[in-house]
């Protein structure tokens, strides 16, 4: 489907030695309260409070994006990761975000040195504007989900997970643009091919699930979910192709499932997790009956919540 080089396990290992250590070796939490053994990588305790520093760090370190100024689109966390890595390499970054993007994430991107442009009603509209801007100004457009390096950087999380936990029966991975799922799946296909890799998308943003089933990009007219970080309506063709080789299935969860997972993360691990960051955990909780007594894993991918998202489920004492 795509002419781009797919992620590789060898380059995931290279990434482990090149990414800023502040994003590596995240805590591994463990729970036995769901009738199974759940291993949970906590990606919320770093300067950008999400896993995105892994992929963007390797993207810059690997040289995939050249040497000049960069343009991207982001719901917020990817833009933070790219700003963190690129500005430390002396490179300018312009991030396009939708006019409805999370204000906490917008402020954080600007604080990390990115020039943030608000344009479009949703993420995919902002991405179209970013692509046009990059082409018009002769700049490199960085597309999360279309870069093997970004997927490989995310895959370092899986390498750490298997080093610590060994063989697993299944791993549940949040699914937005697809870089995280492709990178995690790439590593498991290499190291533990019998582990079932389950990507978890929001029911209100099902384009990647539809694309996985069709083995071709299937856009949707809208993406309506509280999980802004995975609210995608226009699939990245490269990621659709990579998922076919790295993921066993794609499942959908409701927003109510995601809220339940956010509550569980707070009760079990004392972690405040944003909706998209809890999608994998939501899938695990929803499917726990299928894996009773087994060893499964997921990750808490981000903790940049708006006040409205906090009010969804947090008691006033911890908002």
Q: Which of these three, 142, 171, 199, is where a domain ends? A: 142
Q: Which of these three, 142, 166, 189, is where a domain ends? A: 142
Residues making up the chain, counted from first to last: 319
24-50: average pLDDT: 97
Domain membership of residue 4 (yes or no) is no
CATH code where residue 280 lies: 3.40.50.1100
168 and 190 in a single domain? The answer is yes
H runs (alpha helix) in 9-65: 9-16, 52-62
Is residue 70 pLDDT above 70, yes or no?
Answer: yes
Angle at 8 between CA 28 and CA 169, to 5 degrees: 45
Structural domain including 288 reads 9-49+148-318
SS3 (DSSP) at 289: helix
Domain membership of residue 3 (yes or no) is no
Is residue 74 pLDDT above 90, yes or no?
Answer: yes
* 50, 116, 200, 261, 262 from 230: Cα distances, Å: 13, 20, 10, 15, 15
190 and 261 in a single domain? The answer is yes
pTM of the model: 0.95
Please, what is the average pLDDT of the chain?
Answer: 95
CB 213 within 8 Å of CB 175 = no
Tens-digit pLDDT profile for residues 265-303: 999 999 999 999 999 999 999 999 999 999 999 999 999
pLDDT recorded at residue 318: 55
30 and 178 in a single domain? The answer is yes
pLDDT recorded at residue 1: 35
pLDDT recorded at residue 47: 96
Q: Give me the phi and psi of 245, to 5 degrees please.
A: -100, -5
187-206: average pLDDT: 98
pLDDT recorded at residue 311: 75
141-151: average pLDDT: 96
Tens-digit pLDDT profile for residues 154-169: 999 999 999 999 999 9
123-150: average pLDDT: 97
CB 2 within 8 Å of CB 215 = no
């Amino acid at each position: 489907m795509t002419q781009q080089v797919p992620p590789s396990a060898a380059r995931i290992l290279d990434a482990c030695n090149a990414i800023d250590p502040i994003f590596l070796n995240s805590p591994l939490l463990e729970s036995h309260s769901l009738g199974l053994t759940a291993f949970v990588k906590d990606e919320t305790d770093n300067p950008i409070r999400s896993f995105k520093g892994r992929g963007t760090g390797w993207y810059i370190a690997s040289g995939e994006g050249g040497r000049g100024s960069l343009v991207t689109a982001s719901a917020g966390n990817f833009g933070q990761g790219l700003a963190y890595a690129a500005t430390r390499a002396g490179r300018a970054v312009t991030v396009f975000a939708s006019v409805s993007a999370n204000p906490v994430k917008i402020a954080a991107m600007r604080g990390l040195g990115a020039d943030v442009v608000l344009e479009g009603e949703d993420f995919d509209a902002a991405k179209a504007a970013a692509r046009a801007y990059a082409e018009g100004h002769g700049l490199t457009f960085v597309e999360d989900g279309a870069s093997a390096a970004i997927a490989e950087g995310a895959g370092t999380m899986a390498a750490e997970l298997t080093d610590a936990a060994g063989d697993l029966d299944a791993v549940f991975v949040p699914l937005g643009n697809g870089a995280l799922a492709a990178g995690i799946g790439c590593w498991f296909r290499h190291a533990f091919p019998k582990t079932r890799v389950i990507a978890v998308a929001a029911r209100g943003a099902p384009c990647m699930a539809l694309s996985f089933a069709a083995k071709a990009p299937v856009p949707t007219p809208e993406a309506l979910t509280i999980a802004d970080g995975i609210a995608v309506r226009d699939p990245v063709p490269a990621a659709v192709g990579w998922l076919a080789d790295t993921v066993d299935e794609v499942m959908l969860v409701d927003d109510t499932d995601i809220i339940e997972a956010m509550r569980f993360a707070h009760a079990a691990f004392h972690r405040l997790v944003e909706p998209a960051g809890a999608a994998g955990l939501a899938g695990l909780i929803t499917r726990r009956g299928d894996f009773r007594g087994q060893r499964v894993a997921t990750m808490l991918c981000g903790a940049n919540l708006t006040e409205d998202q906090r009010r969804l489920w947090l008691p006033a004492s911890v908002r």
